[in-house]
């Protein structure tokens, strides 16, 4: 099982669209068993994969199992949740740990316990490592995807310290470029503090894992939401203003996430693919609660939209295969 967080310290980059569609492609087209964990209090992944009626029913009953049920027992001092229940999204072909707006209420608890975890406190470390414990119960899956918010807050920190890899969806603008530096500095600080806290802990048998090593590695990025035109060979390329920014991304990735000699991959390998602005395809897929590459005539697809859907299938095929390749190589290199 490989755990992957989809994260950028900038909102509006098409993160959830990438998460749910890539998860669906790996499952439906490549036969992988995938769990999507909606760790964003906005719950966009949950809403993308289930009907409004389903979501309304789930949230009407506070006793239904959501991601909040993973965090709440720890916040109440009751230890780790003994349960794990995932809903099946049939059209996306994946299991989903449903999101919950109440997860935002856990931010203060996680932040407080982090402040003691870094000094070696057992309770603080147990809270900080809650998603490590959760992932230990997800080994039947090939992939566990985390959809998270754009913040550098305590919830995302708890997710990232548990994951094997992270992928950055990026809009092609200067703000996404600047966000890379924020992420790099945060990860460096968290790694150093958590490693020290675990070394100073005197009750390792009370922690959820026998050994912890910071293992989070960058697996790649996907450029999204740019305007494309076709070159002489028929390939879609970003128009001039976007292309100038896109060309800066590989060097910044190398600077902030891939130290010299620390990866078997070239900086160009981290470019998993590009998704141009999709216009009306997105609302069609959202209304159908379907992957964008799987919508058809019954979902409102007509005329040139069929070509766009076919191109999206090819796009997600490329992204999925490049991601698997990077993960395999980086795992062997570890």
- Residue 222 pLDDT: 92
State both tokens at 193: 């503090």
- Residue 46: pLDDT band by 50, 70, 90 thresholds? very high
Q: Domain range spanning residue 223?
A: 2-333
Q: Which residues contact 239 (CB under 8 A, 6 or more apart)?
A: 226, 227, 228, 229
Q: Lowest mean pLDDT: which of 40-54, 98-112, 231-245, 309-323?
A: 231-245
- Residue 118: pLDDT band by 50, 70, 90 thresholds? very high
- Residue 228 pLDDT: 52
Q: Give the tens place of pLDDT for each residue, 194-240.
A: 999 999 988 888 888 767 778 899 999 998 755 455 555 655 555 55
- Residue 42 pLDDT: 94
Q: Tell me how far apart the terminal alpha carbons of the chain are, to the nearest angstrom.
A: 15
- Read off the CATH number of the domain in which 159 is found: 3.40.50.300
Q: Which residues contact 35 (CB under 8 A, 6 or more apart)?
A: 86, 94, 95, 96, 97, 138, 141, 143, 144, 145
Overall number of domains in the chain? 1
Question: Count of CB atoms within 10 A of residue 163's CB?
Answer: 24
pTM, 2 dp: 0.90
């Amino acid at each position: 099982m490989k755990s992957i967080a989809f994260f950028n310290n900038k909102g509006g980059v098409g993160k959830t669209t990438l998460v749910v569609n890539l998860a669906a492609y790996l499952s439906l087209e490549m036969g992988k068993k995938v769990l999507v964990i909606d760790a964003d209090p906005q719950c966009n992944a949950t809403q993308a994969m289930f009907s409004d009626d389903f979501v309304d029913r789930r949230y009407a009953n506070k006793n239904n199992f959501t991601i909040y049920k993973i965090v709440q027992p720890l916040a109440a001092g009751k230890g780790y949740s003994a349960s794990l229940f995932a809903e099946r999204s049939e059209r996306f072909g994946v299991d989903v740990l449903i999101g919950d707006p109440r997860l935002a209420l856990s931010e203060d608890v996680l932040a407080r316990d982090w402040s003691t975890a870094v000094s070696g406190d057992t309770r603080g470390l147990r809270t900080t490592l809650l998603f490590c414990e959760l992932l230990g119960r997800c080994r039947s899956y090939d992939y566990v995807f985390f959809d998270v918010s754009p913040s550098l807050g305590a919830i995302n920190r708890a997710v990232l310290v548990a994951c094997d890899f992270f992928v950055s969806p990026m809009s092609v603008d200067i703000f996404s470029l600047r966000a890379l530096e924020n992420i790099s500095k945060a990860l460096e600080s968290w790694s150093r503090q958590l490693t020290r806290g675990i070394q100073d802990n005197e009750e390792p048998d009370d922690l959820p894992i026998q050994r912890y090593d910071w293992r989070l590695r960058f697996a790649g990025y996907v450029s999204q939401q740019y305007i494309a035109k076709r070159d002489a060979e028929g390939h879609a390329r970003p128009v001039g203003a976007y292309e100038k920014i896109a060309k800066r991304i590989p060097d910044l990735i190398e600077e902030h996430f891939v130290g010299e000699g620390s990866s078997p991959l070239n900086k160009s390998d981290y470019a998993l693919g590009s998704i141009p602005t999709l216009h009306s395809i997105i609302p069609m897929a959202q209304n159908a609660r379907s992957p964008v590459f799987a919508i058809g005539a019954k979902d409102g697809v007509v005329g040139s939209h069929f070509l766009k859907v076919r191109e999206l299938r090819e796009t997600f095929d490329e992204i999925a295969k490049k991601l698997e390749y990077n993960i395999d190589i980086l795992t062997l290199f570890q």
